[in-house]
Copies of this chain bind each other. A is one copy, B any other.
Amino acid sequence: MESCGKKRKSKVLPLEEAAKLVEDGMMLGMGGCNSHMGPSAFAREIIRRGVKDLTIVPTNNTGYQTDILLGAGCVKSIYISYVGLDYIGPAPNFRRLAETGQLDIVELDEMGLLRGLKASAAGVDFFPLPGGIMGVDVVKLNPEFFKTVEDPFTGKKVVVVPPIRPDLAVIHVSKCDAYGNGREAGHVQDLLHFASNKVIVTTEEIVPLEDTMANYTDVTIFGRLVDAVVEVPYGAHPGECHGCYQMDEAHLKKYQKAGRDETTFKAYLDEYVYKAQNHEAYLDKVGIAGLLSTLTYHKGGKNE
């Protein structure tokens, strides 16, 4: 008697279908921290689709997942606090395009960026920053983003930032059910999906609802806000997916080298994105040895 026969609707989509939600000119929120937990497979898929003129909003640090979009010509503008490949080195396309004047960079700091996202998540018109940022260079460079109001309680001047509201956010997690309840194993970047108009979750594994319920206090992605769930094993490769696999250091070094030059990066894209026409073909190209290397926690060094 407790069921009407109508079933709860799955939000699961194939990668190719979910990628169609990304339209030219969108503001796209990119999950991940450095190259960890980035929706890398999703980024490669929208490159294949030839998406243009994106504005990228990363959740603070971003790496491969954003740099590859830059190198593939998908991006017009980017909000930044950090773009880089962690200890591997600079994000090569970011640096090259910036230094040749081909990239519109909204030069923020972490606090400005994340408080802009919080303002959006909270549905408020701006967010005040702590004292100590007044007249600092990020503020001077972005007079349209950092503004000053008078604190009505003390008369003190306070810097505030406006809401940043991506049209669509893409977040990679280790586990998510078909209804969008997702679990981040490591760091918690739930802020991005609360701040965005649409949300795509890519996940290493689609888990049954029962698994969600058995671990409900670990759910960090609020399923109701999720528009599509995409199962993409190794979806963060060559970045790390917390709880699943490590960074593919060898691949990232290759990537980093290729990206320093337009020609060599085109060759990289040809090999790993265009000729590898889908995610499975990409993984084939990376090869079993490459994938297995990311499963070994203790590599290199005497303990390993």
Q: Which A residues lie at the B interface, using CB under 8 A?
A: 119, 122-131, 147-154, 156, 158, 160, 162, 217-218
Contacts and interface: CB of A to CB of B under 8 A. Distances in A.
Copies of this chain assembled into the complex: 2
Given A147-B153, A149-B149, A152-B160, A128 B125 contact: yes
Given A124-B130, A128-B124, A128-B126, A152 B158 contact: no
B151 A125 contact: yes
A151 B125 CA distance: 7
A153 B130 contact: no
Contact of A152 (B119, B131, B148, B151): B148
A149 B150 contact: yes
A148 to B, nearest CB: 7
Given A126-B152, A149-B150, A153-B162, 13 more contacts: A119-B128, A123-B130, A124-B130, A125-B151, A125-B153, A125-B154, A126-B151, A126-B158, A147-B152, A147-B153, A152-B160, A217-B217, A217-B218
Interface centre among A119, A131, A151, A160 (most CB of B within 10 A): A160
Nearest to A220: B217
A153 B126 contact: yes
A129 to B, nearest CB: 7
B126 A127 contact: no
Contacts of A151: 125-126
A181 to B, nearest CB: 15
Given A149-B149, A149-B150, A125 B218 contact: no
Contacts of A153: 125-126, 147, 162
B127 A128 contact: yes
Contacts of A122: 130
A215 to B, nearest CB: 9
Contact of A149 (B152, B154, B156): B152
